[in-house]
Amino acid sequence: MRLLCVALLFTTLPALAAERFTGTWKLDVASAKFSQKPAIFEIGNGTFKCVSCDPPVTVKADGEDQAVSGHASYDTESVRIIDDRSIEQIEKKAGKTVLKAKFTVSSDGAAATEEFTTWPASSDKPVTGGVTLKRVGKSTAGMHAFSGSWLADKAQNISENALLATFEQTADGLKMTQPTGEHYDAKLDGKTYPYGGSADVQQVVLKRIGPRAIEETDKRGEKVVSTAEMTVSPDGKSMTMVVHESTGGVSTFTFVKQ
C-alpha cells in the first residue's frame, strides 16, 4: 500500500505542476517597467526619421502615405506636423490603417504624451491607450520639439482587450489566446511552432526553464522578434514577464491571475 501511495504521488505531482500557467491573466499596467533603451526621432527640413526603428524609417513629414520596407505590420507611413509641439503618425498595411498616434511635447520639452489606436491583424476591435514619455538628454536645436531620445514612462487608459492573455498548460505544452486574436499551441520542447493572429510574429519556441518558469521566443522567419521569461509566483496569483526585444530593450511586466 505504501508503494502504491508513493507511485500515485509521483504520477499526480506533474499534473498539478502543469496547471501553474493555466487561467486568464491581466496585465497590471501601473507596475510596468519599460525598456531603458530610448526611441530616437529626428524631425526637420520636412523629413521624419525613426532612427531607432528596426530597420530605421525615413519619410517626408507632409501627411502623405509613403512606402516603407522591412516592417511586417505596415508598408506605408505618413507623418503630419500639427504644430511646433505635436505630430500625427499613421501606419497602414495593404491600405488598411493599423496604427494612428498623436505625440505632444510638454511646454518645457522634458516630457511628451502619446495617444494611440492600433488595429490588430486578427480582430476588428481596436486597441486604444496612452503612454507618457520622458526625454533623455537635450532637445535638438533647430528641429521639431519631438526630435530627440525618449523613454516610455507610464501607460494609461489601455483598453481591456490588450491586457488579457489566457493560458492552458499541460505536462508538455502550452496554449495561449488573446482577445486581439493572437494564439499558439506549442510543446515545451524547444522546437518551432506556428504563432497565429499577428503580423509581426510567425513562430514560437517554448522551453521550460524552471518549475514555475517558461521561456518564450517569438520569431518571424529566422529572425528573433523577442524573448520572454514568464515566471509564476509561488502562490500562483501573479506572473512576471521579462521581455527582451530584438533592438536590445528589456521590459518587465506583472500579470495578475483572474
The pLDDT tens digits for 147-198 are: 999 999 999 999 999 999 999 998 899 999 999 999 999 999 999 999 999 9
- Give yes or no for residue 60 having a pLDDT over 90: yes
In a domain, 7, yes or no: no
What average pLDDT does the structure give for the chain? 92
In a domain, 82, yes or no: yes
In a domain, 59, yes or no: yes
Burial (CB count <10 Å: 0-12, 13-18, 19+), residue 146: buried
User: Per the confidence metrics, is the pTM higher than 0.95?
Assistant: no
The single-letter code of the amino acid at 135 is R
Q: What Å distances lie between residue 168 and 65, 105, 244, CA to CA? A: 41, 43, 23
In a domain, 66, yes or no: yes
Residues 67 and 156 in one domain: yes
- What pLDDT digit, counting tens, does each position of 97-113 carry? 999 999 999 999 999 99
CATH of the domain at 220: 2.40.128.20
Choosing from 105, 139, 160, the residue where a domain stops is 160
Q: CA 39 to CA 80: how far, in whole Å?
A: 19
Query: What is the pairing mode between strands 203-210 and 213-220?
Result: antiparallel
Choosing from 112, 128, 160, the residue where a domain stops is 160
In a domain, 11, yes or no: no
Q: What is the pLDDT of residue 15?
A: 39
The grid cell for 14 is: 506533474
Q: CA 22 to CA 143: how far, in whole Å?
A: 50
Residues 150 and 47 in one domain: yes
Q: Is 55 helix (H, G, I), strand (E, B) or coil?
A: coil
Number of folded domains that form the chain = 2
Sheet holding 66-67, edge to edge: 57-60, 47-50, 39-44, 148-156, 127-136, 111-118, 96-105, 86-93, 76-83, 66-67
The grid cell for 60 is: 517626408
The grid cell for 216 is: 518564450
Residues 211 and 189 in one domain: yes
Residue 73: its H or E element:
none
Residues 58 and 98 in one domain: yes
Residues 250 and 176 in one domain: yes
In a domain, 6, yes or no: no
In a domain, 2, yes or no: no
- What pLDDT digit, counting tens, does each position of 66-99 carry? 999 999 999 999 999 999 999 999 999 999 999 9
Choosing from 93, 126, 160, the residue where a domain stops is 160
Residues 130 and 177 in one domain: no
Give me the domain span that covers residue 221: 18-31+164-257
Look at residues 162, 148, 160, 159 and name the one whose alpha carbon lies nearest to residue 87.
148
Residues 137 and 53 in one domain: yes
Residues 126 and 224 in one domain: no
Q: Which residues contact 165 (CB under 8 A, 6 or more apart)?
A: 24, 25, 176, 177, 178, 255
Look at residues 83, 89, 76 and name the one whose alpha carbon lies nearest to residue 41.
89
In a domain, 12, yes or no: no
Q: What is the pLDDT of residue 154?
A: 96
